[in-house]
A and B are shown apart, each in its own frame.
Chain A
Amino acid sequence: ETGVTQSPTHLIKTRGQQVTLRCSSQSGHNTVSWYQQALGQGPQFIFQYYREEENGRGNFPPRFSGLQFPNYSSELNVNALELDDSALYLCASSLEQWSSYEQYFGPGTRLTVT
């Protein structure tokens, strides 16, 4: 059984640029959640996708957007990058949206905005 994978591992971008982060769910999981973890902080919920539809969103601006594909992999897109967007971005997958307390996390993508 393949776990949750994320790419790339690390990324450096310049303020104002756009970035796309990718996540492959654990086999059989149809729900993906994205979290932002700033340095020294706990993860914060960005949004969740269930069967290709956004299914809940945290307190993040619209420049944070996502996609989920038919194979349940997912992308997180961030436009107009700001310095405060520098963080570890974590993807988590789960079997069904209402069992999403069973969330399995990937290793994360470390984004640095300069």
Chain B
Amino acid sequence: AQSVTQLDSQVPVFEEAPVELRCNYSSSVSVYLFWYVQYPNQGLQLLLKYLSGSTLVKGINGFEAEFNKSQTSFHLRKPSVHISDTAEYFCAVSGGTSYGKLTFGQGTILTVHP
């Protein structure tokens, strides 16, 4: 079985500061890893994904994430956040016999203050 742990339920940060949202996963097989963003009253939008290859993945809106197999982590980073980045962020995993199923973490609410 796969599981995802997002280590921070809420992350407050000031505008233009860097941010890191932490994600650890558990899986006995090779995985695909994702970060999604959810704005209030909306569905999920894919920020970035790791399927294979380079462990540093770049996504939309200036976000990037690094896959670390030995630490089973996939932390999301942005060097300088904007007010518009305020949203909930979800880390998700799929793989093994569950390629069609995304297993999500509990989410991290990022609040960017002016």
Task: Write the residues of chain A forming the contact surface with B, with a CB cutoff of 8 angstroms.
Answer: 4, 31, 33, 35, 40-45, 48, 50, 55-56, 58, 90, 92, 97-98, 100-108
Contacts and interface: CB of A to CB of B under 8 A. Distances in A.
Given A42-B90, A42-B107, A97 B44 contact: no
A46 to B, nearest CB: 10
A39 to B, nearest CB: 11
A103 B51 CA distance: 13
Chain B: interface secondary structure? strand
B103 interface: yes
7 contacts: A33-B100, A33-B102, A42-B107, A43-B44, A45-B101, A97-B99, A100-B94
Interface residues of B, number: 25
Nearest to B101: A45
Contacts of A50: 100
A105 B43 contact: yes
Contacts, number: 66
A43 B104 contact: yes
B104 A100 contact: no
A41 B107 contact: yes
B104 A58 contact: no
Nearest to A94: B100
Contacts of A45: 101-103
Nearest to B98: A56
